[in-house]
Amino acid sequence: MADNIEEKKVDIKRNFFRLNTLLAFIVAAVVIYIFLTRFDLNEVIEILSNSNPLFLILAIVVFYGFLPLRGYRWRELLIESDIYLPTGDLTRIFYQALFVNSILPARIGDIYRAYLLKKTKNVSFSLSIGVLFSERIFDLTAIALLMLAGGLFYLNTISAPEIKTYITLGLLIFGAIVILFIVISWRAKWLGRFIPARFGNYYNLFKQGLFKSPGRIPKILIESFVIWLSEAGRLYFVAWALGCPIDMLMAIFISQAALIIMTLPLTPAGLGVVELLMFAVLIPAGFAKEQAAAIVIADRLISYWLLIILGAVHYLFSPRFR
């Protein structure tokens, strides 16, 4: 499987023009249309035009300023396999993967990250997948704990049953992945007996990439919490910029719920579904429909559309990182 993926080179152009990508964007367009019919767009535009630029800049700085920490944490996980790479290069690869996740469904950007590491640094694809799998476990743990902290109250405010279903499904997927990681880490040698001989080398490299230093867990977890709290910080400053202040606990809950939706292979980076989720949570929290919509649109302009614009520029002018 690893050979096949590397041979295809995770071609972004080819994947972008595939039928499943088209269908994902059609689904996203339908959901966005539903979202846009729930409020007065002219009033939302007026709210956005009166936003506080200082708070919007803070939102952008909080979100994009913590990208190097993601590269640094990735470097820390690679060190587990005695691979030492510059944080700057890893940050650029990470950002390119975020861009790919925003234009392709099923989080292909994560696979693309392993491909770029193979192409630019000659790191085994299978080993990279093991490292990224470990990273995902830390992410899921941090996101789940943060969401539980904010969701003890706010989850009950969601009136749309389909949104609750998506969040519940995401949490179940989280749990399944964590259990799988524990099983693989604990019984890796035993599971290797069931791997066909032709895939044995790939499995051994994947196993080599798995996190295996319990003493470093607190450090990696703290880095993970800070990374995902930056998502909440972005939303917090966006709301204040629009004159619709929210408390940090609510910002944490909404941002982490959105991240859970993004893990589901529905649309690229949860496009449409995330907007509807955030809107469904903000309304019962006491905001007018237009205020809630303005918060959602401003937040997604920073975290999705600006990311696509900057990511496309980086993709076009950095051939080494594509």
Instruction: Tell me the pLDDT tens digit for each residue of 174-218.
Output: 778 778 777 777 676 777 777 887 888 888 888 889 888 889 999
Among candidate residues 255, 246, 244, the one with its CA nearest the CA of residue 300? 255
Mean pLDDT of the region 243-268: 88
What is residue 162's predicted lDDT score, i.e. its pLDDT?
A: 67
Cβ(21)–Cβ(105) below 8 Å = yes
pLDDT tens track for 85-98: 999 999 999 999 99
Instruction: Provide the b/e sequence for 204-225 (b: ≥16 CB within 10 Å).
Output: bbbbbbbbeeeeeeeebeebbb
**Residue 249 and residue 259: Cα distance in Å, rounded?**
15
Among candidate residues 120, 60, 62, the one with its CA nearest the CA of residue 90? 120
Angle between helices 67-79 and 217-241 (to 10 degrees): 170
- Secondary structure E strands in the chain: none
Helix (H) or strand (E) holding 312, with range, is helix 306-317
What is residue 141's predicted lDDT score, i.e. its pLDDT?
A: 86
Between 143 and 191, the more confident residue is 143
Instruction: Inform me whether the pLDDT recorded for 99 exceeds 90.
Output: yes
* pLDDT class of 144 with cuts at 50, 70, 90: confident
Instruction: Inform me whether the pLDDT recorded for 158 exceeds 80.
Output: no
Domains contained in the chain, number:
1
**Residue 94 and residue 311: Cα distance in Å, rounded?**
11
Domain carrying residue 142 = 2-321
* pLDDT class of 226 with cuts at 50, 70, 90: very high
What is residue 32's predicted lDDT score, i.e. its pLDDT?
A: 96
Own/partner pairs, 67-73, CB within 8 angstroms, 24+ separation? 67/91, 67/94, 67/95, 69/223, 69/226, 69/227, 70/94, 70/227, 72/223, 73/135, 73/138, 73/220, 73/223, 73/224, 73/227
Mean pLDDT of the region 246-254: 90
* pLDDT class of 81 with cuts at 50, 70, 90: very high
Between 6 and 307, the more confident residue is 307
* pLDDT class of 74 with cuts at 50, 70, 90: very high
Mean pLDDT of the region 65-72: 97
Backbone angles phi, psi at 71, to 5 degrees: -65, -40
Q: What percent of the chain has pLDDT over 70?
A: 91
**Residue 36 and residue 96: Cα distance in Å, rounded?**
29
Between 193 and 224, the more confident residue is 224
Token readout for 175 is 């749990």
Token readout for 251 is 């910002």
Mean pLDDT of the region 81-86: 95
* pLDDT class of 222 with cuts at 50, 70, 90: very high
Average model confidence (pLDDT) across the chain:
88
Among candidate residues 10, 24, 20, 220, the one with its CA nearest the CA of residue 97? 10
Own/partner pairs, 145-148, CB within 8 angstroms, 24+ separation? 145/225, 146/225, 146/228, 146/229, 146/232, 146/252, 146/256, 147/171, 147/252, 147/253, 147/256, 147/257, 147/260
Instruction: Provide the b/e sequence for 18-46 (b: ≥16 CB within 10 Å).
Output: eeebeebbebbeebbeebeeebeeeebee
pTM: 0.89
Other C-beta atoms within 10 Å of 271: how many? 23
- DSSP, collapsed to helix, strand or coil, labels residue 50 as coil
Mean pLDDT of the region 51-55: 98
